[in-house]
Amino acid sequence: MKLESHLQQGKVRYYLNNNFSLSIVENSHYRWLNFGQTTQSIMLKRKPFVLTLPHQYFMMLPLLFIMPKRVVEFGLGGGNLLRFLSQISPNSVIESIEQSNEVIECFHQYFNPDNHPYLIHQQPAKRWLLNHSTSATNWLIYDIFSSQKNDDEWPLIDSIIRQSNEQSWITLNISNHSNIKINEVLQQLNKIKRTRSLIYFQVPYYKNIIVHLHPSDAHEIENKHIPSRYLNRARKLWLHRSLDR
């Protein structure tokens, strides 16, 4: 059965309508997190650590080039990236910064079946950046869902880039924006990328643009964390990147 069919057959496990609408739905195979009418995250119940949504494969492409010692993710959601990275790279320090206490509570109750002691900080990303250094971070991931975004989105992305080490990778999930807005973001990124190269991917049939800022001398490594079942797919996706604008 296709994933779309599964998403039409679930039962609601949790619903919250506070500052934003949040619901958790499941069937016998999947459990997923909705923000409003949008499915933000999907977990395969028998293998919680696998990737399930197309844009996540684009986001994981840096694993072709780095074995990260420290990863900071802005935006927890249902924790797909957190579970995946913790599974394939158990020696990495992986931190997730999430503003919403409700999202964190839902993650622990519904999306952390192994009760793993993940490093999750309940704090606005901007405040966390003011109090912490990212100079030793190999990979920074911006994955804050659009319904949680506000006028501070670009200043936050700007801060993430400017505070980072120039040898680090930065991955941005830019979603639910018009083409005009996306072009503006790409132009702004080009102005502040410093010595990094910029590439981006338009995810087919989805409203996601995945942007990677990476060291200009990046090259594929031999001993990868990326699982073999993802490797060929990752290499093919990388060949279809859109280069520096």
pLDDT in tens, the chain (245 residues): 455 555 567 899 999 997 778 999 999 999 999 998 889 999 999 999 999 999 999 999 999 999 999 999 999 999 999 999 999 999 999 999 999 999 999 999 999 999 999 999 999 999 999 999 999 999 999 999 865 555 678 899 999 999 999 999 999 999 878 888 888 889 999 998 888 999 999 999 888 999 999 999 998 988 778 888 889 899 999 988 876 54
In sequence order, the 6+-apart residues with CB closer than 8 A to the CB of 217 are none
Q: What pLDDT is attached to residue 150?
A: 58
186 vs 124: CA distance, rounded Å: 24
Residue 193's pLDDT is 87
* Contact by Cβ (8 Å): 111, 41: yes
- What would be the CATH architecture of the domain defined by 47-239? 3-Layer(aba) Sandwich (3.40)
* Residue 124 near residue 155 (C-beta atoms within 8 A): no
pLDDT of residue 2: 55
Rg (alpha carbons) of the chain, rounded to whole number: 17
Estimate to the nearest angstrom the gap between the alpha carbon of 126 and the chain centroid: 17
Of 143, 133, 121, residue with least CA distance to 165? 133
pTM: 0.92
